[in-house]
Structure 1
Amino acid sequence: MGDRDWRPFIYGGLASIVAEFGTFPIDTTKTRLQVQGQKIDPRHVELRYTGMLDCFVKTSQQEGIKALYCGIWPAVLRQATYGTIKFGTYYSLKKALAQRRADGGSREHLPTNTFCAAFAGGLSSAIANPTDVLKVRMQVGDEKRSLGRCFAETWRAEGARGLWRGVGPTAQRAALIAAVELPVYDACKRRLLPALGDAPLNHLLSSLLASLGSAVASTPLDVIRTRLMNQKKLRDSIANSNNNIYKGTIDCFVQTVRNEGFLALYKGFIPTWLRMGPWNIIFFITYEQLKQFY
């Protein structure tokens, strides 16, 4: 593989890290909204926040501004792996398959783009799942330790399975987001090229359009995977109702709807959408600028 072939991976990872730093406080409010109000989880029965702004203000006042960035380092580590693999795989696989088509890749092919995006999203998120688990637990506020200590405690108490808790819905969510987001961005960018050219305004508008659909499609899976990641199951003790809450993705879905109603699957939708917009804007503009180097 030539040197140029590695650049989508490198630029994808760098752009993902920049976007993560810029939007992480919104992600923290989303996570806290998603775990509250669980009637079967004694740790999170209380509805502490009425919405994103209330969560932002209360967290800042009660725990300090730094609490909004609690979990940033596993998030950065996640983007260094997830973002690198996802975007690098998508653009590399898309290019390889395009060259095999009859048109030689001169036109965008939606089914091919969707397959490449879903494959890249699911694969990368499954690999990076341990960093997601640590991020969620630190964001919720239960884990006040450093990244290293949080990892060691999770490994000691729950083993490798604890670090891959929620990997099913995580991979499904990532595949769904990528399958909607990346092809829509590429299609919008291509349509806007005659009017706007390959310029930041084109990247901005394409990013905004790509965000809404992925937020609507992915929020229910995001709620489920957040709750699965946050629950703790002790490896060396008999499970009880306090540490073995959900048996899996389907059980979490059923119990959430049964106990809290269907709209509970859309807890944190506003910060999810508001974060996706700026995240995609920062990412794609950064990525497009980095592409100017080759």
Structure 2
Amino acid sequence: MATSDFVLGGLASVGATFFTNPIEVIKTRIQLQGELAARGTYVEPYKGIVHAFVTVAKNDGMLGLQKGLAPALYFQFIINSFRLSIYSEAMERGWMHDHKGEVSYGRGLMWGAIGGVVGSYCSSPFFLIKTQLQSQAAKQIAVGYQHAHTSMSDALRQIYTKNGIRGLWRGSVAALPRAALGSGAQIATFGKTKALLVEYDLVTQPTLNSFTAGLIAGSIMSVAITPPDVITTRLYNQGVDAEGRGLLYRGWLDCFVKIVRSEGVYGMYKGFWANYLRIAPHSTLVLLFFDELIALRTKYIRQ
């Protein structure tokens, strides 16, 4: 794969993350409130997206809306460097096209899932730390397990000192279904939608074409990714014992069963609208920025 595509994919995601991290903070808090408690039996410090924004700003300050930004940037750079460079390579080599030369949705799902799995595993320590920092809140609005990290570097040091390299990759395997479903749906939808918009002469202007396809891809991705995202958030944020074992969940399946039993199917879709409002614009911006950066690189090479 081209090194430049790898870097451009990472840069595209970094630019988008500055805008979408606040809604990621809100999404994480909503997913953690009422953990393993039946609906209606717990206090909800975050009653909807707008209320959550006001509550965080009031209790944690405006900077509280950008908690976990540093590890979020590292996470997004790494995962999207792999995802988008693999997507670009597959598209350029024709691996995403069928025998008729048309972009195949099925092949897009496969290559999107491969890129998501590789990127997710490599960036897992930063997702872990991002989640734990984003959940940190003032006592009166705290939800989920509260980790005593003061920064990204402090979190890296604490986790490594307590549980070694294994601790930094805790939950990484369980996060792979999230990455495969979300990335597969996004990449496949983006590539196919771009081609269809041009084929039917609906949106042919390059920038607007990328924007429209990215928005549609983000919408599909948010539906596919929310349940595994709830599970990943819970697994990454839970406390661990001296041996590094989770205090609440033993793994992905155990987490799923406990959520459904305690919170019902509703629990698997906690934070859906916050997730949608994060993913749709983030996906749109990442894919738009990536296409624009690719276009700039191509223009520069030709000059």
**CA deviation profile, 1:221-258 (whole Å, cap 9, x unmatched):** 00001000001213359x7xxx6111111111111111
**Letter matched to residue 252 of structure 1:** C
Look up the match of 1:220: 227
Look up the match of 1:85: 82
Look up the match of 1:164: 169
- Cα separation, 2, equivalents of 1:102 and 1:6: 28
- Per-residue deviation, 1:263: 0.5
Look up the match of 1:129: 124
Among 179, 188, 212, the alignment partner of 1:183 is 188
- Cα separation, 1, equivalents of 2:197 and 2:99: 25
2:12 is aligned with 1:15:
yes
Change over 3 Å in CA distance of 1:102–1:153 after alignment to 2:
same
Change over 3 Å in CA distance of 1:46–1:173 after alignment to 2:
same
Look up the match of 2:105: 110
Look up the match of 1:25: 22
Give unpaired runs (5+ residues) of structure 1.
none
Q: TM-score, structure 1 length as denominator?
A: 0.89
Change over 3 Å in CA distance of 1:144–1:220 after alignment to 2:
same
- Per-residue deviation, 1:144: 4.7
**Letter matched to residue 86 of structure 2:** T
1:35-74 equivalences under 5 Å are 35-39=32-36, 46-74=43-71
1:195 alignment partner, SS class: coil
**CA deviation profile, 1:138-165 (whole Å, cap 9, x unmatched):** 0000345011111111122233332222
- Cα separation, 2, equivalents of 1:130 and 1:272: 21
The count of aligned residue pairs is 281
Could you tell me the percent identity over the aligned residues? 30
On the 8 A contact 2:97/2:103 being kept in 1, the answer is no
Change over 3 Å in CA distance of 1:38–1:210 after alignment to 2:
same
Change over 3 Å in CA distance of 1:53–1:169 after alignment to 2:
farther
Q: CA RMSD in A?
A: 2.1
- Cα separation, 1, equivalents of 2:43 and 2:176: 29
On the 8 A contact 1:125/1:174 being kept in 2, the answer is yes
Q: TM-score, structure 2 length as denominator?
A: 0.86
Look up the match of 1:276: 279
On the 8 A contact 1:18/1:283 being kept in 2, the answer is yes
Change over 3 Å in CA distance of 1:37–1:277 after alignment to 2:
same
2:202 alignment partner, SS class: helix
